A and B are shown apart, each in its own frame.
Chain A
Amino acid sequence: KAGVTQTPRYLIKTRGQQVTLSCSPISGHRSVSWYQQTPGQGLQFLFEYFSETQRNKGNFPGRFSGRQFSNSRSEMNVSTLELGDSALYLCATSSGDSYNEQFFGPGTRLTVL
């Protein structure tokens, strides 16, 4: 069974630009959660999508948004990038019927210059 895949793995952008990251879940998983990992703040929850609907949201500004497609693949978008958005963005997937086991992808490393 293939694991969680995230694309791209690395990204360099400049301030003010926008970026879209993608997460493909394990086959059969319908829930996708996104996390931001930085040295200062650690791992912080962004949002969760299940069956194309946002089910839960963390405490991030509206510049951070996401969506989920009918095949459960999810994208997150960050608009008007700031230097502080430089981070490792991780997605985690689970069946959605149970959250007991959540599996993470390798992450997308975003650098904002």
Chain B
Amino acid sequence: GEDVEQSLFLSVREGDSSVINCTYTDSSSTYLYWYKQEPGAGLQLLTYIFSNMDMKQDQRLTVLLNKKDKHLSLRIADTQTGDSAIYFCAERDSGYSTLTFGKGTMLLVSP
């Protein structure tokens, strides 16, 4: 079965880099996602990567994928207080719409 795990909490100082980690279990062709949720809001799609890729960069965001260990990370460069939110890792089998989410990592950025 599918299972996505994340660490629950990360605290960083403004201007530092943040790295949020995730492990997944699905072994079929898979898309892997990062979503951001701010208090009282829905989920904002940040980026996604297909399981045959190693890395994807989009402005301050870098996604790294270790296929052997089924480990996914999201690096946020120059973290700002506005980045404080819950970050969800999710996986999706390429044949289906269903997203399987981790429990989320709360990122707290202090000035």
User: B97 contacts A99, CB within 8 Å?
Assistant: yes
- Cα–Cα distance between A59 and B88 once the two chains are bound (Å): 21
Inside 8 A of B35's CB, which chain A residues have their CB? 104
Inside 8 A of B98's CB, which chain A residues have their CB? 33, 45, 48, 56, 58
Inside 8 A of A102's CB, which chain B residues have their CB? 45, 97, 99
Inside 8 A of A55's CB, which chain B residues have their CB? 97
If over half of B's interface residues share one DSSP class (helix, strand or loop), that class is named, otherwise mixed; here it is strand
Question: Out of B43, B45, B100, B102, which one reaches A101, CB within 8 Å?
Answer: B45
- Cα–Cα distance between A12 and B55 once the two chains are bound (Å): 44
If over half of A's interface residues share one DSSP class (helix, strand or loop), that class is named, otherwise mixed; here it is strand
Inside 8 A of A105's CB, which chain B residues have their CB? 42
- Cα–Cα distance between A106 and B48 once the two chains are bound (Å): 20
- Cα–Cα distance between A65 and B14 once the two chains are bound (Å): 45
- Give A1-18 as 1s and 0s: 1 = Cβ < 8 Å from B's Cβ atoms: 000101000000000000
- Give A72-102 as 1s and 0s: 1 = Cβ < 8 Å from B's Cβ atoms: 0000000000000000001010100001111
User: A92 contacts B99, CB within 8 Å?
Assistant: yes
A43 near B: Cβ within 8 Å? yes
User: A31 contacts B48, CB within 8 Å?
Assistant: no
User: B42 contacts A106, CB within 8 Å?
Assistant: yes
- Cα–Cα distance between A90 and B90 once the two chains are bound (Å): 15
Known A42-B103, A100-B48, A104-B35; judge A90-B43 contact (CB<8 A): yes
24 A-B pairs with CB atoms under 8 Å apart are A6-B42, A31-B97, A35-B99, A42-B101, A42-B102, A42-B104, A43-B88, A43-B90, A43-B101, A45-B99, A55-B97, A56-B97, A58-B98, A90-B43, A92-B43, A94-B97, A99-B97, A100-B31, A101-B45, A101-B48, A102-B97, A102-B99, A104-B43, A104-B45
